Structure 1
Amino acid sequence: MATGILIIGESGSGKTTSCRNLDPKTTYYCDLDGKGLSWRGWRSQYNKENKNYTRMANAKAIMDLLQGVSDKAPSIKVVVLDTLNAIMLAMEMEQRKTNTYSQWMDLAVNIYGILDMIGRLRDDLTVVCIAHSQTEQNDMGYCLTRMKTSGRKLDKIVPESKFTTVFLAKGNDGKYIFETRANQSTAKTPMGLFDEPEIDNDLVPIIARLREFEQG
């Protein structure tokens, strides 16, 4: 069972930047948005020549890649999927003229398939899923920030339920942090992993701490 981490947040909140210190030799980056990464020198770290970078937003291709990394690339310890919303948008654009029940069911099935697959990958692999967030307010005025989804089928699935670790990325006055627990959001971490309600947005110590926690 691979370790899954979900990072949600608004654009510019430091989601992609949290990957800046990951080792390119042991990381495979799936740039699903096709926008490039957000730190100096990333092109020399992640590229096709290094065989650690791809741009695509096809759900089936992503699942094939995850399985291939798990089975045939033991040197890769971290896979980043940035962002899951790009898969949903790509499917919406491809099927924009249909607007049928099956369209939204296919979208939900594909996203669920990727998230469900994480639990079947090798134990020493960490899959980091990045997604945009949305904040909703109910009739009583209560606000909740959660992963932004397309279609009610995915809302019913609740993508966060497939993870034990969900971070809400936030940026303010040049400081970028992850919230580690629910504060009108779906953020959560395993009991006892983080005492701090906020931590630096650096995935290297976070993954190390999570791995140590899992081993007891």
Structure 2
Amino acid sequence: MSIATLILGNSGSGKSTSLRNLDPARTLLIQCIKKPLPFRTKGWVTRVTLKGEGNVIQTSDPMVIEKILRTAPHDVIVVDDYQAVMVDELMTRSSEKGYEKFTDIGKHAFNVFQAAGARPEHRRVYILAHTQTDDFGQVRMKTVGKMVDQTLVPEGYFTIVLRTEIINGQYLFATQTNGQDCCKSPIDMFADQHIPNDLAAVDAAICEFYGITETA
């Protein structure tokens, strides 16, 4: 069983930037929105095709993402801007009547979350997504509306949920809930309520906590 982590935050709050210290040689990045990375990208190469060379794949197809999660050999996989997957599917099927499309969107997300946790036990998956505030003032992962929210609680599929915060100009991850969000992490995994938004440091802490010392 792999370690799947959900990273949530508003646009511009440091989610994508947190990748900056990950080792490109051991990481696969799935970009759900085609955009330049917000840091110097030495070592990060976009694949022209899914079977080509490179460690950046650009796709918003949930079935392709699920297949990659189940088959890619990389130690670390990052899925950036996952909410775009649901938005793209909704827009593609916007002319359809009825609720079936919302059921399908929820099911596809469920399959991706399940695949993220079903890799070999030494591997890690990080899914990054935007946040929304519900009618009760709770901050959670952004989906495509109440029809999906009623059937899918993304945070429930993850033991670790971090949220980006900017405090006094510092870009940070919150590691535990403030009572109005869904942040969570195992006791003693992280030393503080807020840590630097460095995904490489997060990955190191996860490996230390779970005793991951080498790849299989």
1:162 corresponding residue in structure 2: 157
C-alpha contact (below 8 Å) 1:170/1:178 kept by paired residues: yes
What is the alpha-carbon root mean square deviation over aligned residues? Answer: 1.7
User: Which residue identity is paired with 1:113?
Assistant: N
Distance 1:7 1:145 in 2: 13
1:202 corresponding residue in structure 2: 198
C-alpha contact (below 8 Å) 1:12/1:171 kept by paired residues: no
Q: Is 1:6 the equivalent of 2:16?
A: no
User: Which residue identity is paired with 2:207?
Assistant: R
Structure 1 runs (4+) greater than 6 angstroms displaced: none
Extract unaligned runs of 5+ from structure 2: none
2:122 corresponding residue in structure 1: 124
Please, what TM-score do these two structures have when normalized by structure 1?
0.89
Comparing 21-30 with 93-102, greater Cα deviation is found at 93-102
Q: Is 1:47 the equivalent of 2:46?
A: yes
Q: Is 1:68 the equivalent of 2:71?
A: yes
SS at match of 1:178: strand
Per-residue deviation, 1:171:
2.3
User: Which residue identity is paired with 1:212?
Assistant: E
Per-residue deviation, 1:210:
1.0
SS at match of 1:65: helix
Per-residue deviation, 1:122:
1.0
How many residue pairs are counted as aligned between the two chains?
A: 206
Distance 2:97 2:161 in 1: 31
User: Which residue identity is paired with 1:5?
Assistant: T
1:146 corresponding residue in structure 2: 140
C-alpha contact (below 8 Å) 2:2/2:123 kept by paired residues: yes
User: Which residue identity is paired with 1:45?
Assistant: W
Please, what TM-score do these two structures have when normalized by structure 2?
0.89
2:91 corresponding residue in structure 1: 93
Per-residue deviation, 1:178:
0.4
Structure in which a larger fraction of residues adopt helix: 1
Does the C-alpha gap of structure 1 residues 170 and 50 become closer, same or farther in structure 2, counting only changes over 3 Å? farther
1:215 corresponding residue in structure 2: 211
SS at match of 1:169: strand
Extract unaligned runs of 5+ from structure 1: none
Comparing 24-33 with 91-100, greater Cα deviation is found at 91-100
Per-residue deviation, 1:36:
2.2
Distance 1:46 1:144 in 2: 38
Does the C-alpha gap of structure 1 residues 209 and 124 become closer, same or farther in structure 2, counting only changes over 3 Å? same
Note the alpha carbon deviations across 1:151-205, whole angstroms, 9 max, x for none: 3343232100000100010124541000111111101101221241100000112
Distance 1:13 1:196 in 2: 19
Per-residue deviation, 1:44:
4.8
**How high is the sequence identity, in percent, across the aligned residues?**
32
